[in-house]
Amino acid sequence: MRFNFLLIMILLMASVAGAKIWRVNSNAGADADFTDMQSAHNNATSGDTIYVEGSATNYGNSTIAKQLYIFGPGYFLSENPETQVNTESAKLWSTTFTSGSEGTIVTGCNFSNYCYVYTDSITLRGNIFWFMVYIGDNSAIDEVVFSQNYCAEYSMEVRANATNITIRNSHIRYLTGTSTSYLTFYNNVIEGDLTVHNSVLNNNIMKWGSFSGSNNIYNNNLANGTQFGTDNGNQANVVMDNIVFVSGGTTDGKFQLASGSPAIEAGINGEDCGMFGGSTPYVLSGLMDVPSIWSLATTGPGTAAGGLNVQIKAKSN
């Protein structure tokens, strides 16, 4: 895993000139900068990058009040092929994004407890969430992007006066919005109740649950019942077993469209519906858009005379 993060650092340093890169790793002998997330944040400067590496233990609670780029290794790493050498995820405990963290991007992390987004311009991309995700604190916030994520349990709540909230290409359990929130909601797979207002919903697949709210526009969605009706390209009473690989496959991979699925090219402009469709398709395991080393083998200890033979297998992602 050390080799993988060094490679990522080299690739990104040129584009983050003047900013510093920090490592968080609680594994014995890791020689990282920090062993918990809050310490990394407190020592970082706005614009810095923090790599949170895989560990069996979580990295504690943290409040993010600086603009940071936070990268983890992904999740479901032992399920999907060719992911990472170290298949442990980077587990963040309760995490709060507050004033000062505008512009922060987090990807590839495992949010093992609550996540609170209390400020503007936060991007959460390619993460897994096990508990509640709260967007907004009933004061005006704007332009939060929730993209290519996997909500494993519980639900999301978009609170009052949260506007321009984008939720796309994600697996969603339950989601509740208020009458004064506004969402763009497209190319998701929904497995639970959905209540939103003043929102646009396109190209989604609703496997089960109810849909309610007011002043919504919805096009080209597929549902197991009549939640979206049949106007505007929506399809009702779709047999879900015919849409995705509901048996077999990995936890997130089973939501890929099966051959002959009625969701293929059923979206706006002929796009596929669901989390793997559209211009920003879901990525298995939340892997970053940089090479990852998924196999590392050596012949044993190296010598000054003979060096060290290392065989590395990587993929570009």
- Report how far residue 101's alpha carbon sits from residue 86's, in angstroms, rounded to the nearest whole number: 29
301 in a domain, yes or no? no
309 in a domain, yes or no? no
307 in a domain, yes or no? no
pLDDT tens profile 203-242: 999 999 999 999 999 999 999 999 999 999 999 999 998 8
pLDDT tens profile 111-147: 999 999 999 999 999 999 999 999 999 899 999 999 9
311 in a domain, yes or no? no
Say how many residues make up the chain: 317
Q: Are 47 and 1 in contact (CB under 8 A)?
A: no
In Å, how far are 7, 70, 153, 235, 313 from 175, measured between CA atoms? 37, 25, 11, 21, 40
Hey, what are 243's tokens?
Answer: 């849409």
Look at residue 294 and tell me whether its pLDDT is greater than 90.
no
148 in a domain, yes or no? yes
Amino acid 299: pLDDT: 54
Q: Which residues pair with 289 in a beta bridge?
A: none
- What domain range is 94 assigned to? 2-292
Q: Please measure the distance between the N-terminal and C-terminal CA atoms of the chain and give it in whole angstroms.
A: 16
SS3 50: strand
CA 195 to chain centre: 21
**Of the candidates 93, 32, 27, 35, the residue with the CA atom closest to the CA atom of residue 63:** 93
The kind and range of the H/E element at 195 are strand 194-195
Amino acid 86: pLDDT: 73
Q: How confident is the model at residue 87 (pLDDT cuts 50, 70, 90)?
A: confident
Amino acid 307: pLDDT: 62
Q: Which has more confidence, 271 or 7?
A: 271
88 in a domain, yes or no? yes
CA atoms within 13 A on the CB side of 315: 11
306 in a domain, yes or no? no
Domain count for the chain? 1
Look at residue 11 and tell me whether its pLDDT is greater than 50.
no
pLDDT tens profile 34-82: 999 999 999 999 999 999 999 999 999 999 999 999 999 999 999 876 5
- Phi/psi at 9 (nearest 5 deg)? -60, -45
Confidence (pTM): 0.86
